[in-house]
Each structure stands twice: as structure tokens, then as C-alpha cells.
Structure 1
């Protein structure tokens, strides 16, 4: 831990650059908390989702699925809450054509057609929504997620993969052409002080981004502190039975080396009495700690009560996680100085 005076001197020079990579519902929680900090935030968002409203829009007009991007834009927007609620509003079941679609998803899809690509559309929308930071789709075209399971079988598409309820061995992404991230994505990774992976679905929200060839190469070359925010609970169809060390090992194996510098893991007891017993075997089980497994991968461990437990659900405490991320980013800035 650095002294307050040293940290203040670093902050006066420039804000720490924090890049958060992922998708799903966990990402906005961390981004909202980081937004309260004095940091330059870049969110790199997965584009392989094929479920829900995003999947329907993707199938109809072949654009990058907009759902995760929509949630990230809202989390970093400086617009009043009432205006952000409009962007998040979903049509109800009485609307036969629009049922289940979020207005924001339709706006992103329309802008993508108008601009000719998703990246420029998101930059335009970021300006309109007064986004504090940068939001970059990890690719400019929809990606298809592929998986091989431990039994040797394979599946294609996020929904199809997770519905198999098999242990996943590896994943990769495909597209009409070789998948490639925009230059801004690579520049953000290479210029970051800290890169944050997660929280989020290991195989369907985090790894799809890293499997884009130039993103994976940038992750191997960057000098940034690479931080993994480990999920608190296991996830059906993806991480049943995996420890925190297993999560880190799988990311490292996909990148081809020990590239996770620090893991933020939960040390608080989860009150399982609030969950239904029939869920215990798969979905709602706490991720077990394996300190020796993490140490063997040269991974520093920061353990704390990172939970926000309410209404029978478990979330990450965004503020606690963000504080650790900023501290690590400042340490990296100071080392470079």
C-alpha cells in the first residue's frame, strides 16, 4: 500500500486507466462503482450473445447483439435516471412484435444500420448519452461462440453451449472473416494501468473477448496489472464444481500462459438457507477457494467480503471491488513512474 502523498502525486499527473472486459449483468455493477472513482474507464463488451432480445435482433438483421452494450452504456451514462429508464424499457407481452425488446436494443440496432457498423454507432450513442468513459464492442461484427466439451463433443452458440450442461474444455469464436477487434480496443489494452476481467460468465462473457486473436495477443503483451474478479457463485452450464483457481487456470490456458496477476476472491460465508435446496447441486453453490492452486499460477490473492447479499440473491459489492481495482491501478502507475 502506498502512502497518501505518493498516491496524490500520481493522481495529479493523470487518472488511472482501467479497462474492464466482459459482458452480462456483473459488468455494469463494477462499472457503476468505478464511475465514482477518479479513473479513465474503458469497457470492452462481448458481441457473441445469441439469447433473449439481443439474439432475436441478431437473427433478424445480422447486427452485433446489443443487450450487453446497452447495459454498459447506461451504467456509465451521466443522463438523469428518468432518461436512462426510457433506454432500458422493455415492451410488454401485449405488443406482439416488440414483446420483450428493450428500446435501447432497437436504437443500437438502428444506429448500426445508419452508421454501417456497431463501433461507430456505439460512439455516437455514447456522446448522446453523456457516457463518462469509453464503450467499445470487442468486434465490429457478430461473433459465434464455439465450444468443445470434456467428452469430445462440440456445440455452437452461447445458448446451445450452456444448455448442454456439460463441462467445457475450451471455447473459440468464429465470424464470416477472421475475428478482429477495432484498433481502439487494442490501444486501450496496451495503454491500460489495470485490466479487469469479470465478474461474469467465464465461458460466455469473458473468454469470447480474449479469443479474438488480436485481443489475446494484446493481453499477452500488455504491461497492465491484469485482475480477475472471480464469480461468487457457480453457474449452471458453465462452472459447476470449479474452484477460484480453476477459473484462473482456464483463462490462463486459453491465453497460453500465466497472465492473471491478481485475483479478487470472496471470503465471506454465503447464507445458503436463503436458497432453494433443489438449486444446491448446480447453480447456486459458492465458488470454493483454492489458495495453493492460485499460488501455483503466480497469482496474487486479495480476499475479502466482496458480497452484497439481499433478497435471496448474491451480488458483488461494487464499491469494495472498485476500491481494490483503483488501488492496484495506482500501484501500477507508481511502478511505471
Structure 2
């Protein structure tokens, strides 16, 4: 964490949809983590992993079924009046009056916000200054997401919750949003975001957690989570050679391998050692390793491994189905 002060503190958090009569589903199953002041923490996970369900509990939109959550030292559900003025919330989808223009929408929201920024300042921050007189119903999906973000920033929040903040944005809009979020963090705002874009988490997060079936499957700095995954070397066996003709894989630091036809894929925690040994062998044997692909461990590898584990499991109904059960 960037500060010793725990701005967000979550212990054994649980959320259940439904009831005993109609059937229940536990969407969040004992999640624990903390976020320091001025830190950006990302929640990743497959669809239905519990990201939004967790975020809503932190935002004070529902009471947990079990466990403890504190935001700025308070229970965000029971002490909403003490927490809400100090946080900003960007939901997955915002509901705006379609006939109001952009500036009118922000002005309406500002009337309910203590110490709100000037309307033009909020719109300029998210690149909507030139669209201030456009009706909400005429905005693109990406522009509506920018308007959502402007409203979340109106109250100059100490803690900012962002649920899929760049969904629907084009590449330029996504990069602009990243720069804005970085600037807010550098100015001391604590940010907790959910995202499906792994490059977004890699670019922004100080730390992250990957959720799977309502539990944290991996947590830490990006480099720590990545380091827990093996690197890979793939190549095509030269004509006339077999896997047994290679140097002993254990001596190369290879921890596992797969072979499909002539294509070999090696897994290793010692990429330089394995790649060097393999290339020296190829040089001495006078052969070319075609389709050679050497790549280090990545956040994508970590995420995909957890996603694959989920597919091999019994499956999960996900947040949307759970909410239907609770309706």
C-alpha cells in the first residue's frame, strides 16, 4: 500500500442473494483485502466472479450477509451519511434523464452534492466540454460513460469507486481516462476499480486481486501475481528429431511441457536458462527452431489460468442470475 492508513478495509466479506424458500446464491464468499490512502486497487475476475457484488457492498448500496467492511473508518451501509459525501461512485450503468442536456444533468447532480466542482470544470476533466449542450439521449455509449465519470468526480472524492469505467470508450478515450485516473491517484485519491481489460489493470493498478467464484484466487502487486505464473517457449521440432533428442528438460529448468504434432510448448520458471540451453542445442545440432516463440509470464496468463480452472469446475450462476433470484 502507498500509505499505512487503511482507507478501505474488508474482512471475510460475504454477500448472499435469494432466500431459503426460493433458493439462495452466495456471490461473495469470505473476501478480505485492504487499500491504502492514495492507492489504486483493481478487482479482476471472470463474469459472475463477484466483482460488482463486492463493490456494491463497499459503496454502501447493500448490507453484507457476513464479515466486516470499513471505508474511511466507517461502515458504508450503516454510517452512510458519514461516508457518502467523501466518496465518488461510477456504476456500470448510469440512469440519466434523456431529455436533459449534458450541462443540465451535471447541474442537477451538483445540486445534491456537497462542495461540488463547477459544472464546466467537471465536464472538461472528462473531455465533454464541447458537448455540454447536447441532450443525453444523443450521446454515444462512450460519452455516457464519460458523463458517469464526471458525476462521480463532482464532489472531489477522497475514495473513488469505478465499475468498468472504460467500457464503450474508443482507444483514445480509454487512454484519456487512464491519464485522468492516474492524476487523481497522484493527487491522493484512493481508487478501487473493476475492469475486464487486463492491460488497464497492468497500466494503472498498484495492487490487484483476481476473484473466482466469489473468492480471491490471487492478490498482490502486478509483478507478484505475474511472477507466480510460468514463462513459455514454443517451437516446432526440426525434421527427423523427437522430443527425446532435446537435452533433458529438467536440466533446462523446464517444469512441464505439451506437444501437439510437431509443436512443442515448454513451461519454465527460469526463462533465460531454458531459452539459452535450447538455442545452444539447436546451434550445435545445426538445426532451425521454426515457429519459435519465447514469452515471459504475464497477467493474462494468470487470469486465463484462473478462468480455465473455473471452466473445469461446476460453473456458477453469476451476478446477473443471482440478482434475478433476489428480485
Q: When the two structures are superposed, what TM-score results if normalisation uses the length of structure 2? A: 0.29
- Whose Rg is larger? 2
Q: When the two structures are superposed, what TM-score results if normalisation uses the length of structure 1? A: 0.29
Would you tell me which structure has more helix in proportion to its own residues? 1
Would you tell me which structure has more strand in proportion to its own residues? 2
